[in-house]
Copies of this chain bind each other. A is one copy, B any other.
Amino acid sequence: MLLMEKLYITYNQIHNTVKGLTEEIRESGFDPDLMVAIGTGGFIPARMVKTFINMPIITVGIAYYDLDDNQMDHPVITQWLDQPEKQIKGKKVLLVDEVDDTRATIGFCLDELMKHEPAEIAVLVIHNKNKAKKHEIPSYIKHYFVGKNFEDPWICYPWDAEDTEEQDRLALQS
Looking across the interface, which residue of chain B has its beta carbon closest to that of A35?
B40
Looking across the interface, which residue of chain B has its beta carbon closest to that of A56?
B78
Looking across the interface, which residue of chain B has its beta carbon closest to that of A50?
B40
Judged by a CB distance under 8 angstroms, whether A158 is at the interface is yes
**Please, how many residues of chain A have a CB less than 8 angstroms from a CB on the other chain?**
40
Judged by a CB distance under 8 angstroms, whether A149 is at the interface is no
Total copies of the chain = 2
Judged by a CB distance under 8 angstroms, whether A11 is at the interface is yes
Q: In the assembled complex, which residues on chain B have CB atoms less than 8 Å from the CB atom of A58?
A: 61, 78-79
Looking across the interface, which residue of chain B has its beta carbon closest to that of A168?
B12
A11–B168 Cα gap in the complex (Å)? 12
A80–B165 Cα gap in the complex (Å)? 36
Interface residues of A (CB under 8 A from B): 10-12, 15-16, 19, 34, 37, 39-40, 43-44, 46-48, 50-51, 56-59, 61, 63, 67, 78-83, 86-87, 158-162, 164-165, 168
Choose one: B19, B43, B48, B78; the contact of A37 (CB below 8 Å): B43
A40–B80 Cα gap in the complex (Å)? 17
Choose one: B46, B160, B168; the contact of A43 (CB below 8 Å): B46
Q: In the assembled complex, which residues on chain B have CB atoms less than 8 Å from the CB atom of A16?
A: 164
